[in-house]
Amino acid sequence: MVPVHLLLLPLLCSMLVYRCDCACAEVDSDTEAVAGEGFKLGCISCKKRSEVEATATVEWYFSPRGESEFFPLYTYDENGPTIEHEYFMDRIAWNGSKRSNDIQDATIYLLNVTFNDSGTYRCFFHRTLYYEHHQHYDRIDKVVYLNVVAKANRGTASIVSEVMMYVSIIGLQVWLLIEMIYCYRKIAAAGEEALREAANAEYLAIASESKDNCAGVQVGE
Question: Which residues, 6+ apart, have CB-to-CB distance to 149 below 8 Å?
Answer: 32, 33, 34, 35
pLDDT value at residue 4: 43
pLDDT value at residue 71: 95
pLDDT value at residue 220: 54
The backbone torsions φ and ψ at residue 171, rounded to the nearest 5 degrees and listed phi first, read -60, -40
Which contacts qualify for 200-208: CB closer than 8 Å, 24 or more apart? none
Residue boundaries of the structural domains of the chain: 24-153, 154-207
Dump the DSSP string for the chain: ---HHHHHHHHHHHHHHHHHHH----PPPP-EEETTS-EEE--B---S-TTSEEEEEEEEEEEETT----EEEEEEETTEEEE--GGGTTSEEE-S--S-SS--B--EEESS--GGG-EEEEEEEEEEEE-SS-EEEEEEEEEEEEEEESSPPPPHHHHHHHHHHHHHHHHHHHHHHHHHHHHHHHHHHHHHHHHHHHHHHHHHHHHHHHHHHHHHHHHH-
Q: How far apart are CA 110 and CA 30, in angstroms?
A: 13
Q: How far apart are CA 84 and CA 60, in angstroms?
A: 9
pLDDT value at residue 216: 57
CB atoms within 10 A of CB 47: 17
Check: CB of residue 77 under 8 Å from CB of residue 31: no
Kind of pairing between the strands at 32-34 and 135-149: parallel
Tens-digit pLDDT profile for the chain (221 aa)?
Answer: 444 444 444 444 444 333 333 568 888 899 999 999 999 999 999 988 888 899 999 999 999 999 989 999 999 998 889 999 999 999 999 999 988 889 999 999 999 999 999 999 999 999 999 998 999 999 999 999 999 999 887 655 566 666 777 888 888 888 888 988 988 888 888 888 887 887 777 767 676 666 666 555 555 55
Q: How far apart are CA 18 and CA 208, in angstroms?
A: 70
Q: How far apart are CA 82 and CA 72, in angstroms?
A: 10
Check: CB of residue 37 under 8 Å from CB of residue 91: no
Q: How far apart are CA 46 and CA 104, in angstroms?
A: 5
pLDDT value at residue 117: 95
CATH no., domain 24-153: 2.60.40.10
